[in-house]
A and B are shown apart, each in its own frame.
Chain A
Amino acid sequence: MLSVKNLAVSLSGREIILPETMSFEIGRGEIAALLGPNGSGKSTLLGALCGLVKKQGGGILYDSIDVESLTARERAKIFAHVPQSERPTSDYTVLESVVMGRYPHLKSFDGYNRDDYEIARESLRRVDLAGFEERIVTKLSGGEAARTVIARALAQDSPVLLLDEPAAALDPKHARIIMDLTKELAGEGRTILMAMHDINLAISSSDRLIFIVGGSIADDMPSLRVTEDVLERVYGISWEIWSTGGDASKLVAIPGAVAQAEDHSP
């Protein structure tokens, strides 16, 4: 169980996640999508969970362990993070890049062993990159590079997976593959938290939607209970939600016109 209590984060003196407003719990096997406008604090929240961003207040507990008390390696054994974008800066092969996900599990003075490489290969198969092992990461397409980073996070073998817009660079087929993969991983008992902008992908792929606006949780609900009102309140545009297939198991949300004048005041 991942438990976040009154998390507060400031960057350069600006409050990104407001104190006393950010508390939630996510169980094992649960997939939660973080939704909200640009700059609402979704990526900062993911960064604070895995230690990329320092928190100023509140607590993060995983199975009652305060993650702040852990070393960087121990924390990386709990949280695997896939950033919004990552530009490879050296000519590693895809396999070399993915096996680096095994770093938190290495003992001092040890290198990656045969098992680590096997786990890296299996991770590549799961993101549909089998056969890409010897390719150079700097020469991959945007989607291939994004899947390589997801494979590296899988190789990390952490119980909580934090994905920052995992489908943004992917074509519809590979977006589906990755979303199906998150369901598989949740089925294995992992906790998935992903920041997203695609409402439909979020509804169809997650159990729960957590809406963040201005650094606070605006709403937290099961995915299939989302309403037009909630979306309108969060994004400031009108929405239509359609139920397809005669039941409520498939919803399609269509954005409409801007509902109200945007507030540009600081």
Chain B
Amino acid sequence: MEHAPVSHRLPAAYGYAAVLALLFLAVLSGLCSGDIRMPLSDLFEMLRLGPGARPEDAILHDVVWRIRMPRLLSALISGAVLASGGVIFQAVLRNPLAEPYTLGVASGAAFGAACAISLGGLWLTAASFAGSMGTLFVVWALGERSGDSDRSRLILAGVIVGSILGAGLTLIKALAGERALAIVVWLMGSFADSNWFDCSPLFVGLSVLVIICSVYVQELDIMTSGADGRALGLDVRRTRVILLGGASLAVSFVVSRFGVIGFVGLVVPHLLRILFGPMHHRILPLSFLGGAALLASADAAAKSMNELPVGVLTVLAGGPIFCFILWRRK
């Protein structure tokens, strides 16, 4: 008799070794690369001095502590938020095509940003964040109207509202004249002008995700297993509100400031599940570290390629790798 295949997963230690190595390289290249070449010895000296020092070579110190460090942290935290948000969305909505933008936070952010840019660029991040939260509210009101666990209704609401906002965005671009280019560039996502002020909301978003991921590990397992969680004692509705609401909030901090960065939230969770299995105590920590390493590496590469939009690079570089792994797995 033919039996069901036995699980062949890579040990999680391999995953940690790989992402930590990538993370280390991403940090080094993020801090060394750029218009001003920075040898490792200078970098270590500036790091040793700390952010408050006033050294002789103030330019190098400013480059490290005022320009590159906030940019690196922004990319690291955004990657961690997008990847772990992707894990949560795919688990709770039980849909492999779900991503952190499924409930419309990206389309809302884009619409808000486009409105602000077309009106002169004031309050850009605030308008984008308001667009993101407003859209989430509308999608949620539409999708949860039926009460119980209707995941497809929530997804459908996200798609429809996203389409409406997409059409609105196209209209704004058409009417924005020479500002249309600024809208397009914003949409592609970039960490180019990050500063320390940008990092604080990102830290808030990251903290929200770390907390809910620590508390709801087993719940995420049950939600992805195919079992009716209610029969196992899970308060499905409350858990879903907390997980999707928390993840959407965290992600909206990222998209409202840095634009729509695709791929990370969709593909990193899939990749980790393929390699390490679906248990969330294994893939959630890996998704935080892996997402951070991936996006910081992509940003370092984007910087060295004359500031290519990082969102474009993540897809161009990561997509084929994912296709290869998918092809290798039977």
A136 in contact with B226 (CB, 8 Å): no
When the two chains form their complex, are residues B221 and A100 in contact, meaning their CB atoms are under 8 A apart?
yes
The answer, yes or no, to whether A71 is at the interface (CB within 8 Å) is yes
In Å, the complex CA distance between A109 and B216 comes to: 8
Interface string of B257-283 (1 = CB under 8 A from A): 000000000000000010001110100
Greatest chain A CB density within 10 A among B214, B221, B232, B281 is at B232
List of B residues within 8 angstroms of A132 by Cβ: 3-4
Contact of A135 among B4, B228, B278 (CB under 8 A): B4
With contacts A89-B94, A90-B225, A91-B277 taken as known, whether A73 is within 8 angstroms of B233 at the C-beta atoms is yes
A24 at the interface (CB under 8 A from B): no
Whether the Cβ atoms of A140 and B225 lie closer than 8 Å is no
Instruction: Give, as a whole number of angstroms, the nearest-CB distance from A193 to chain B.
Output: 14
The contact of B232 among A74, A76, A137, by CB within 8 Å, is A76
Asked whether any CB of chain A lies closer than 8 Å to the CB of B306, the reply is: no
Residues of B within 8 A of A83 (CB): 228, 231
> Are A100 and B232 neighbours in the complex by a CB distance under 8 Å?
yes
CA distance A92 to B218 in the complex (A): 13
Asked if B4 contacts A139 (CB within 8 A), the reply is yes
Contact of A90 with B233 in the complex, beta carbons under 8 Å: no
B215 touches A90 (CB 8 A): no
Partner of B230, one of A72, A106, A136: A72
CA distance A140 to B226 in the complex (A): 14
Contact of A89 among B4, B224, B281 (CB under 8 A): B224
Tell me, rounded to whole Å, the shortest Cβ–Cβ distance linking B155 to chain A.
15
Residues of chain A contacted by B234 (CB below 8 angstroms): 72-73, 103
CB-contact partner of A52 in B6, B221, B226, B228, under 8 A: B228
Chain A residues near B273: list those with CB within 8 A: 90-91
**Chain A residue with minimal CB distance to B6?**
A134
Q: With an 8 A cutoff between CB atoms, is B180 at the interface?
A: no
Chain A contact patch, size range: 35 or more
A108 to B239, alpha carbons, bound, how many Å? 14
One of A73, A109, A149 near B215 (C-beta < 8 A): A109
B232 A101 Cβ-Cβ under 8 A: yes
Residues of B within 8 A of A111 (CB): 217-218, 281
- Residue in B221, B273, B278 whose Cβ sees the most chain A Cβ within 10 Å: B221
Given A106-B218, A136-B7, does the pair A72, B225 have CB atoms closer than 8 Å?
A: no
Q: Could you tell me the distance between the alpha carbons of A71 and B233 in the complex, rounded to whole angstroms?
A: 8
B225 x A50 contact (CB < 8 A)? no
| B235: interface (CB < 8 Å) | yes
> Does A144 count as interface, using CB distance less than 8 angstroms?
yes
A144 cross-chain contacts in B, Cβ below 8 A: 4
User: With an 8 A cutoff between CB atoms, is B46 at the interface?
Assistant: no
Query: Please, which residues of chain B bring their CB within 8 A of the CB of A74?
Result: 233
Which of A73, A75, A112, A135 is in CB contact (< 8 Å) with B5?
A135
Q: Can you list, as one digit per residue, whether each of A67-81 has a CB less than 8 Å from chain B (1) or not (0)?
A: 000011111110111
B4's contact among A51, A108, A141, by CB below 8 Å, is which?
A: A141
B231 near A135 (CB under 8 angstroms)?
no
Within 8 A of A (CB), among B1-47: 3-7
Tell me whether A135 and B227 are in contact (CB under 8 A).
Answer: no
**Pick from B5, B7, B214, B232: contact of A103, CB under 8 Å:** B232
A136 lies within 8 A of B228 (CB):
no
20 residue pairs of the A-B complex, CB under 8 angstroms, read A50-B231, A51-B230, A73-B233, A75-B233, A83-B231, A86-B226, A90-B278, A92-B277, A96-B221, A97-B225, A100-B227, A103-B233, A111-B281, A132-B3, A136-B5, A136-B7, A139-B5, A149-B227, A152-B227, A156-B232
Hey, which bits of chain B sit against chain A, CB under 8 A? 3-7, 94, 214-215, 217-218, 221-222, 224-228, 230-235, 273, 277-279, 281
The chain A residues found within 8 Å of chain B, CB to CB, are 50-52, 71-77, 79-81, 83, 86-93, 96-97, 100-101, 103-104, 106, 108-109, 111-112, 132, 134-137, 139-141, 144, 149, 152, 156
19 additional A-B pairs beyond A86-B227, A104-B233, beta carbons within 8 Å, are A50-B231, A52-B228, A73-B233, A74-B233, A76-B231, A80-B231, A81-B231, A83-B228, A86-B226, A88-B225, A90-B224, A91-B278, A92-B279, A109-B215, A111-B218, A111-B281, A112-B218, A132-B4, A134-B7
